Structure 1
Amino acid sequence: MRELIAAGWDVHLVTDPSDGFERLRDIAGLTLHALPMKRPPAPLHDLRSLMRWRRLLKSLRPDVVVAGTPKAGLLGMLAARMQGVQTRVYHLRGLRYEGLSGLSRFISLRMEHLTASRATVLLCDAPSMRAAVIASGLAGAERTIVLGAGSACGVELDRFHLPTNDERQEARELFDISPAAFVIGFVGRITEDKGIAELLRAAAAVHAAHPQVVLLLVGPIEEPHGLDAEELLLLGEAWVRTLGYLQEPSAAYRAMDIYCLPSHREGFPISPLEAMASGLPIVSTDATGCIDAVRPGITGLVVPVRDTAKLTEALLSIVENPELGKEMGIQGRAWVSADFDSRQVTRNFIAYMTSLISEQGTTPTGSAA
């Protein structure tokens, strides 16, 4: 948002007045609009929110509306279409229905169809997401786009960097991890759809073969987490370190030897990019989004979703061949530097937004909501 403002855009941010809202006031030049929205379906509340959206857009008269997340996307695209906003961008950061089944999946998919039908373009964070959007019939190829190699924000390469030996030692000391340990790491929500059950079981098998292995989990434990009794017991093992949420995870990456994201679904996950920028090999899945965040056999290894046995094999292959992991880490840093530098990702977004406005015959100084 700061970069859009610096480029001359009049940026208006419409968001639910939840935690973190006040911190956004620190962004110079940004106009904030608090608009209550509920994440789960709430027909009466949603209708009131839609009316508020319409009144706001009628007052702002923006040249373009960009909306993301399922509920804000639905309400924002509906209201923008009703108010005749010419350029309506639905920014897809994930496909919620991929993690659902039965009636819940049907309803979620229908809502996505409704949102997509009101958008003029669907901006997808990852190539595999764009393919899934087209395959599901949400939109055709002509209304979907991925900018560059993908990613919503890229990586700050100065913040996430190859650690020196001293930085690595300091990180190990900070988290009370032995210098001799081999650390498998994860950063994200501790919950079922992140593949935590498979990770715990696979890491337990690897630890049984190589007792120096430590599992480092960085992130909050969500409720409901979907873990069974055995998996919860594994969380309490001495070789498993759970740190909770870290506002600054860069030190955690410096303590790791492998980064593992066995997620069932993603948009374009940022954590593997941060890990590669920190020189780590990646073990991930072939889920939507995840597959775009690793170059199989070059920057890491890819396994099928929910396949604990294959995940165990992949982790073992790097634990037992650390030179392979180091080479993958070097290749990963080079790839991230070339394709996912946050400055270039931002430039790509601003250039695309400017091109949309140019097609309207106006200037990029209009309002964006």
Structure 2
Amino acid sequence: MKFLLVAGYSESLTNFRGPLIEALIASGQEVHAAAPGLCEHPEVVAKLLAKGVRIHSVSMNRTGMNPWHDLKTLLCLYRLMRQIRPERVLGYTIKPVIYGSLAAWLARVPERYALVTGLGYAFAGESGQRTLLRRIATRLYQVALHFTHRVFFQNPDDRDLFVQRGILSAADKTVVVNGSGIDISIFSPMPLPAQPAFLLIARLLGDKGVREYVTAARLVHQQYPQCKFRLAGWIDDAPDAIAQAELDSWIQDGVIEFLGRLKDVRPAIADSTIYVLPSYREGTPRTVLEAMAMARAVITTDAPGCRETVIPGVNGLLVPIKSAEALAQAMLDLVRDRQQVEAMGQQGRRIAEQKYDVQKVNQQMLTTMGIFNK
């Protein structure tokens, strides 16, 4: 049985979907993976080939709404599917979901699945540009998802939004899974460092709450100058990306320690005492799960995708979106109570084991798709 996984960017195949690929192979599937510019990432290619995956580079611009480019993506995916003739296709992130689902229907792939990992820029605000993009994305989702057999969501808010907006006609076509899951054997508990330290790992986008984090860090620094405030990530090609000049100004202020883009986030998490993600909306934030698995208290927003990861007062705190003042207060509350931070970290690890273990998440997806271990 041939299984085609369509990704929006190459590195996600190994960073986020590696365990899923391994589970598919273990169940007897011949796994094919397609992503834009895949052959330009030799490390990713080497890891996939070592697992026995067959790789395919496809034409796709991860961002942007150029209709000619997107038509080219649709045709490229259609030709690929006609060539390899998979029995099942799963696309994840916006364009693989939309154009992968349409191409799979046109190519008469027997079983078609989609994984909505988050709603992205268009659904995270109410500006004129976002409203227009949301209308376009809504219509494209309506058409594409009509031809899928099941749609996986990573939180119930996104699923409910798709049903309420009429993108999906009924909730019985949907399955909510606990994010992408986390390998709890790789992300293991680590002792807290002596000095209080906050950490945010994210693409440097306004919607990730990066500006609120920087503002809150400055407020906390005024009272607790011994605290460390670290930021890891990179400037992404997106409409609300942080400008290089703005990032440079934060670094020059001396409050924020910028770590850049990390291949392995575990040392940075181990060097922190509290993980912070002030995002406006997520599918399920992978970095929060990583921090929980490593026994770190979490401060995140009461927003779709984020709120599911934290039980307030148990493994962390929830704050309103776009409120640097509320975020700073939550950070101050935890700085003042190290015992609570330690207890929250232990509870976060327990929740990661019980709810977000990647093996449990993948088994739910495979069972839904009618794939069973040998």
> TM range, normalised to the smaller chain?
0.7 to 0.9
Correspondence for 2:123 among 95, 98, 119: 98
| Letter of the structure 1 residue corresponding to residue 179 of structure 2 | S
C-alpha distance in structure 1 between counterparts of 2:336 and 2:243, whole Å:
28
Q: Report if the CA contact (8 A) 1:191-1:227 is conserved.
A: no
Match of 1:159 in 2: 186
Q: CA deviation at 1:12?
A: 1.6
C-alpha distance in structure 2 between counterparts of 1:227 and 1:52, whole Å:
33
**What is the TM-score normalised by the length of structure 2?**
0.84
C-alpha distance in structure 1 between counterparts of 2:272 and 2:347, whole Å:
17
SS in 1 for 2:259: strand
Q: CA deviation at 1:336?
A: 0.5
Once the two structures are overlaid, the 10-residue window that deviates more, 89-98 or 338-347, is: 338-347
Give the fraction of aligned pairs with identical amino acids, expressed as a percent.
29
Q: Does 1:203 align with 2:217?
A: yes
C-alpha distance in structure 1 between counterparts of 2:160 and 2:315, whole Å:
23
Aligned positions, number: 342
C-alpha distance in structure 2 between counterparts of 1:225 and 1:52, whole Å:
29
C-alpha distance in structure 2 between counterparts of 1:66 and 1:38, whole Å:
18
| Letter of the structure 1 residue corresponding to residue 219 of structure 2 | A
Q: CA deviation at 1:3?
A: 1.9
- Change in 2 beyond 3 A, CA 1:271/1:247: same
Correspondence for 1:145 among 170, 175, 199: 175
- Change in 2 beyond 3 A, CA 1:354/1:222: same
Q: Report if the CA contact (8 A) 2:235-2:243 is conserved.
A: no
Correspondence for 1:72 among 90, 93, 96: 96
C-alpha distance in structure 1 between counterparts of 2:245 and 2:223, whole Å:
23
Q: CA deviation at 1:219?
A: 1.4
Once the two structures are overlaid, the 10-residue window that deviates more, 103-112 or 73-82, is: 103-112
Q: Does 1:53 align with 2:80?
A: no
SS in 2 for 1:118: coil
Deviations 1:235-264 (A, max 9, x none): 323332111011111111111111000011
C-alpha distance in structure 2 between counterparts of 1:285 and 1:232, whole Å:
26
Deviations 1:287-329 (A, max 9, x none): 2211112122211111111111211111111111222211111
Match of 2:12 in 1: none
Q: Write out aligned runs for 1:12-27 (5 A).
A: 12-18=32-38, 19-20=40-41, 22-27=45-50
Q: CA deviation at 1:58?
A: 2.5
Q: Does 1 or 2 have the higher relative contact order (CA < 8 Å, sep 6+)?
A: 1
Q: Write out aligned runs for 1:168-247 (5 A).
A: 168=193, 179=194, 181-222=195-236, 225-226=241-242, 233-247=249-263
- Change in 2 beyond 3 A, CA 1:65/1:106: same
- Please provide the CA RMSD for this pair: 2.4
Q: Write out aligned runs for 1:308-327 (5 A).
A: 308-327=324-343
C-alpha distance in structure 2 between counterparts of 1:232 and 1:288, whole Å:
31
- Change in 2 beyond 3 A, CA 1:79/1:255: same
Match of 1:8 in 2: 28
- Change in 2 beyond 3 A, CA 1:220/1:49: closer
Once the two structures are overlaid, the 10-residue window that deviates more, 51-60 or 311-320, is: 51-60
Q: Report if the CA contact (8 A) 1:192-1:227 is conserved.
A: no
Q: CA deviation at 1:132?
A: 2.5
The runs of at least 4 consecutive aligned structure 1 residues that moved more than 4 Å come to 227-232
Q: Report if the CA contact (8 A) 2:208-2:277 is conserved.
A: yes
Match of 1:175 in 2: none
Once the two structures are overlaid, the 10-residue window that deviates more, 275-284 or 60-69, is: 60-69
Q: CA deviation at 1:231?
A: 7.5
Q: CA deviation at 1:229?
A: 7.7
C-alpha distance in structure 2 between counterparts of 1:200 and 1:209, whole Å:
15
SS in 1 for 2:37: coil
Q: Report if the CA contact (8 A) 1:213-1:239 is conserved.
A: no
C-alpha distance in structure 2 between counterparts of 1:16 and 1:229, whole Å:
29
Q: CA deviation at 1:273?
A: 0.9
| Letter of the structure 2 residue corresponding to residue 151 of structure 1 | G
Q: Report if the CA contact (8 A) 1:199-1:311 is conserved.
A: yes
Q: Report if the CA contact (8 A) 1:191-1:226 is conserved.
A: yes
C-alpha distance in structure 1 between counterparts of 2:261 and 2:186, whole Å:
18
Deviations 1:126-182 (A, max 9, x none): 2332223223322121111113xx111x222232222247xx4xxxxxxxxxx4x31
C-alpha distance in structure 2 between counterparts of 1:259 and 1:44, whole Å:
41
Q: Report if the CA contact (8 A) 2:205-2:241 is conserved.
A: yes
- Change in 2 beyond 3 A, CA 1:215/1:131: same
Q: Report if the CA contact (8 A) 1:183-1:215 is conserved.
A: yes
- Change in 2 beyond 3 A, CA 1:353/1:80: same
The structure that has the greater radius of gyration is: 1
Once the two structures are overlaid, the 10-residue window that deviates more, 123-132 or 308-317, is: 123-132
C-alpha distance in structure 2 between counterparts of 1:162 and 1:73, whole Å:
35
